[in-house]
Amino acid sequence: MSPTDPARRVVVAGMGNEYRRDDGAGPAVAGRVAARLEAVVDLGPLADPLDLLGRWDDADLAVVVDAVRTGAPPGTVAVVDLDEVAGRPVAGAPVTSSHGIGLDRVLRLARAVGNGPRRVLVVGVEGDDFGDGLGLTPAVARAVDDAARRVAELIEEDR
């Protein structure tokens, strides 16, 4: 199946708030990907992982893009397969997300009711400034295109 195969459902969810500086990286990346790949559905911007319920149902692939804070240099892009880390702490990641409930728990809930996506990849963009205000910091703004390219590659590799 190709990314444009109508039988394949691919969703990209940009988590974050554009009014909290680098927290807007997720929606910026997701919007760029959806503009490049017409068969991809952009679910964002989303404020909470629970917002995915009912929106990512039965997707073949869901890519969740979010700004992260792990201590890596700002603008660093990292990819995590949620099934590979579900139930295990990820080095440098907090036990709970700033969104309240973690993605792994939302995925388990969706799958428990039979609607979860087949595969979930998380693309994190290391943020620097999460204070009030519009606009990404320079390092994160430069990373948006790289992250969007990486998401497109992940979608192609998952076929």
**CATH number of the CATH domain containing 143:** 3.40.50.1450
pLDDT over 60 (residue 4): no
Domain residues for the domain of 122 are 10-157
Residue 80 falls inside a structural domain: yes
- Rounded CA gap, 98 and 112, in Å? 24
Residue 148 falls inside a structural domain: yes
pTM recorded for the entire structure: 0.86
**Domain count of the fold of the chain:** 1
CA distances from 92 to 6, 107, 152 (A): 38, 21, 26
Nearest residue to 119 (alpha-carbon basis) of 44, 50, 62 = 62
pLDDT tens digits along 123-156: 999 999 999 999 999 999 999 999 999 999 999 9
Q: At what angle do helices 138-157 and 25-36 cross, to 10 degrees?
A: 50
pLDDT band of residue 5 (cuts 50, 70, 90) is low
Residue 134 falls inside a structural domain: yes
User: CB of 22 within 8 A of CB of 75?
Assistant: no
Residue 1 falls inside a structural domain: no
Residue 109 falls inside a structural domain: yes
Residue 3 falls inside a structural domain: no
Residue 103 falls inside a structural domain: yes
Residue 142 falls inside a structural domain: yes
pLDDT tens digits along 60-114: 999 999 999 999 999 999 999 988 876 554 444 443 344 456 888 899 899 998 8
